[in-house]
Chain A
Amino acid sequence: MTVAVEELKGLKSDLVVDARATSCPGPILAAKKAIGQIPVGGVMEVLASDTGTLKDLPAWCKKMGHDYLGSVDDAGYLQLFLKKMK
């Protein structure tokens, strides 16, 4: 389930995880570490500079059973959103 960019921008994240200082596999390691901190149904925002994350985070979400919502890239880095489903 991906969400329109405008909707993503208005989304309130329960947690922002900054993985901009790391490249593959850093962003998914960061996501894995942080996901426990939010409740089921919560939204997590991952900041990344490695463009591979655009493919990797959705793959991680699919494997882990979370909903990948989409990404925004107009801040000069990537903001990727996901919803914790379990």
Chain B
Amino acid sequence: MTETQLVEAVTDNTEVKTRKTIIVFSGDFDKVMAAFIIANGAAAMDDEVTMFFTFWGLNALRRPEKVTTSGKSPLQKAFSMMMPRGPERLRLSQMNFAGAGPKLMQRMMRQEKVMPLDDLIASAREQGVKMIACAMSMDIMGLKPEELIDGLEYAGVASYLGDADEANVNLFI
């Protein structure tokens, strides 16, 4: 927010909304959980929230089903085949136990009544959290927009930095 905007907002007696920006670099289940819990909490506290998904973080935004795409190089095909599709298939950063860890963690989360990751993602979207998928890392990893969930913006570092300029909290997860 510029000084003029701030002065206008104060003289208008309107709310000065604060912004939080979160870079989701990791595709680990637990780290993505943390990012979405913070994003949802901030949105509930009337903050504007921007989440910028890059590299492994993009896997959290993948549709769970296989999507046929064209125009991928063999390496890109291999990459997108080996990477997890969507929140249900992400691995834990610790104690992954070849995939058993996330299942156990999800069971414990259900017992403790924590919202599942896909619900947190849906809730973030409902609350107007801006989710930006990094177009450059999508190209590198061979991910196409049709493989990702709806409601995303596709942009680059300048879009994220533009929002970060207005933010008072910035996290790299």
Contacts and interface: CB of A to CB of B under 8 A. Distances in A.
A25 B113 contact: no
Interface string A60-73: 10011000000000
Contacts of B37: 24-25
B44 A25 contact: yes
Contacts, number: 41
B112 interface: yes
Interface residues of B, number: 13
Nearest to A29: B44
A5 to B, nearest CB: 26
Given A60-B44, A63-B45, A29 B123 contact: yes
A64 B41 CA distance: 12
B157 interface: no
B112 A23 contact: yes
Interface residues of A, number: 16
A42 interface: no
A22 B46 CA distance: 20
Contacts of A64: 45-46
27 contacts: A21-B113, A22-B113, A22-B115, A23-B112, A23-B113, A23-B114, A23-B115, A24-B37, A24-B41, A24-B114, A25-B40, A25-B115, A26-B113, A26-B115, A28-B41, A28-B44, A28-B45, A29-B40, A29-B123, A29-B127, A50-B113, A59-B45, A60-B44, A60-B45, A63-B45, A63-B46, A64-B46
